[in-house]
């Protein structure tokens, strides 16, 4: 994996994500180069510099987009707005949750993203559903043609958002004739930032709310709806497929059997908060769990376990795991597959270091993960695995 910041794994992961979301190498380098001397600075100082540097690149691209749009060059303007949005999300990703600038940057990136996908001509619709007194939002990206299309619902991870996974997988899905609903389920993205929702145990509730809406959409094949989850979403998606019978397959990139392997690291950070690098795990975990105490937040989060759940899975199941995943150990994938005893097809793909795409969620070479997952989905659901 290309490690721009060897001493700051949180930043390195975000650099890889920025490129996987559609970033350009020269722009990413321009954002990161001035940050090298402070990668090991105290987290508040380092992340403030990160925020400012990425927002600067985002703002410049937004201005370029405005100039191009004034000429009527919509494709070019859309491309600038798209990268401006994604860099804005990368900036706010490391922002402190109590800093109002984090939400302001997020608001701006949301608006830029919506403008971008329209100008780029993507068949993308914003979907909103009422949910337990709040609102959940997502983007339904459709392939070309009339449909109805097989459709998968994408669950985010611990700190990912729908725009990130849209960048990871949108193109690979639609070229195979598969629609994707990229959603911010409870505890992620818009739902936590705008409505204060927290990560649930019962992940199937968000899936059910969106399926109710998808079943009414003429472009969605209601008999071919599945779920896909990345990182901590690899808990949400399989659990949802167990308890929501309208889900007909499930795919995860990385496994998330339980959180026990993280306990020593969390306890070390509780004891030594100065060791945080890049991602402020305490700040993030308290925000997504609605807790004021780091320990309480982790205990609430750790109730999300697949132990005893997976024997209830009765649909095809795929896990794609990186050999060099430094967050999720291999045994989680092996155990998840082994316990899916009632799945008619339970497959495990390990991307080796030699192949690439071997880091957490394949973020070092996301295309390989996405291509494999959507080929598998197309095979199971009857999509396209080659040009028509």
- For the chain, what is the mean pLDDT? 95
Tokens (6 digits) for 81:
């707005």
Confidence category of residue 276, pLDDT binned at 50, 70, 90: low
Residue 277 has pLDDT above 80, yes or no: no
- Say how far apart CA 370 and CA 206 lie, in whole Å: 23
CATH architecture designation of domain 1-121:
Up-down Bundle (1.20)
CA 147 to chain centre: 26
- Say how far apart CA 239 and CA 135 lie, in whole Å: 21
The pLDDT value recorded for residue 263 is: 84
Q: What is the mean pLDDT of residues 149-164?
A: 98
Neighbouring CB atoms inside 10 A of 133's CB total 7
Residues 68-126 have pLDDT tens digits of 999 999 999 999 999 999 999 999 999 999 999 999 999 999 999 999 999 999 999 99
What secondary structure does DSSP assign to 139-150, as a single string? Answer: EEE--SSS--EE
Where is average pLDDT lowest: 52-56, 264-268, 335-339, 356-360?
264-268
CATH architecture designation of domain 123-258+304-388:
3-Layer(aba) Sandwich (3.40)
Instruction: Please give the C-alpha separations between residue 249 and each of 1, 242, 316, 347, 386, in angstroms, as whole numbers.
Output: 31, 10, 5, 12, 21
Confidence category of residue 270, pLDDT binned at 50, 70, 90: confident
Torsion angle of C-alpha atoms 93, 96, 101, 107, degrees rounded to 10: 40
- Say how far apart CA 90 and CA 84 lie, in whole Å: 10
Residues 232-248 have pLDDT tens digits of 999 999 999 999 999 99
Residue 202, C-beta contacts closer than 8 angstroms, at least 6 positions apart: 239, 243
Residue 217, C-beta contacts closer than 8 angstroms, at least 6 positions apart: 140
Asked if 372 contacts 365 with a C-beta cutoff of 8 angstroms, the reply is no
Strand-pair partners of 155: 229
Q: How do the domains of the chain map onto residue ranges?
A: 1-121, 123-258+304-388
278: left (phi over 0), alpha (psi -120 to 50) or beta: left
Residues of the chain with pLDDT > 90, as a percent, come to 88
Residue 34 has pLDDT above 90, yes or no: yes
- Say how far apart CA 287 and CA 188 lie, in whole Å: 10
Question: Which element (helix H / strand E) includes 13?
Answer: helix 9-20
The pLDDT value recorded for residue 2 is: 87
Residues 294-337 have pLDDT tens digits of 889 999 999 999 999 999 999 999 999 999 998 899 999 999 99
Tokens (6 digits) for 304:
């999300």
Measured CA angle at 340 (ends 338, 343), to 5 deg: 130
Instruction: Please give the C-alpha separations between residue 63 and each of 60, 80, 108, 109, 305, in angstroms, as whole numbers.
Output: 5, 9, 13, 13, 46
Tokens (6 digits) for 45:
């100082």
Residue 152 has pLDDT above 80, yes or no: yes
């Amino acid at each position: 994996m290309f490690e721009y910041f060897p001493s700051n794994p949180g930043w390195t992961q975000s650099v890889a994500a920025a490129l996987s979301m559609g970033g350009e190498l020269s722009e990413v380098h321009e954002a990161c180069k001035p940050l090298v001397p402070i990668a090991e600075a105290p987290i508040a100082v380092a992340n403030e510099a990160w925020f400012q540097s990425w927002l600067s690149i985002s703002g410049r691209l937004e201005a370029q987009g405005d100039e191009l749009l004034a000429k009527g060059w919509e494709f070019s303007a859309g491309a600038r707005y798209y990268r401006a949005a994604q860099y804005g999300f990368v900036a706010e990703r490391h922002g402190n949750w109590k800093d109002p600038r984090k939400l302001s940057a997020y608001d701006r990136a949301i608006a830029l993203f919506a403008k971008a996908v329209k100008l780029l001509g993507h068949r993308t619709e914003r979907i909103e559903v009422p949910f337990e007194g709040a609102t959940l939002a997502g983007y339904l990206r459709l392939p070309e043609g009339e449909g109805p299309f097989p459709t998968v619902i994408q669950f985010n991870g611990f700190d990912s958002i729908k725009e990130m996974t849209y960048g990871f997988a949108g193109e690979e899905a639609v070229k195979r004739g598969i629609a994707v609903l990229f959603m911010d389920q409870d505890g992620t993205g818009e739902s936590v930032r705008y409505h204060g929702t927290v990560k649930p145990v019962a992940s199937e509730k968000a899936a059910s709310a969106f399926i109710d809406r998808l079943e009414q959409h003429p472009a969605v094949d209601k008999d071919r709806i599945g779920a896909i989850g990345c990182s901590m979403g690899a808990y949400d998606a399989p659990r949802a497929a167990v308890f929501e019978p309208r889900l007909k397959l499930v795919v995860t990139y990385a496994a998330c059997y339980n959180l026990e392997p993280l306990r020593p690291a969390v306890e070390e950070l509780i004891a030594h908060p100065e060791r945080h690098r890049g991602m402020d795990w305490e700040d993030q975990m308290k925000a997504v769990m609605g807790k004021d105490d780091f320990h309480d937040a982790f205990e609430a989060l750790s109730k999300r376990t697949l132990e005893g759940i997976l024997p209830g899975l009765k649909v095809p199941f795929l896990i794609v795991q990186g050999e060099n995943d430094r967050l999720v150990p291999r045994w989680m994938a092996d155990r998840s597959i082994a316990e899916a005893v009632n799945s008619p097809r339970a497959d495990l793909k390990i991307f080796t270091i030699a192949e690439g795409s071997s880091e957490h969620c394949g973020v070092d070479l996301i295309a390989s993960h996405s291509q494999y997952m959507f080929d598998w989905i197309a095979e199971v659901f009857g999509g396209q695995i080659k040009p028509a």
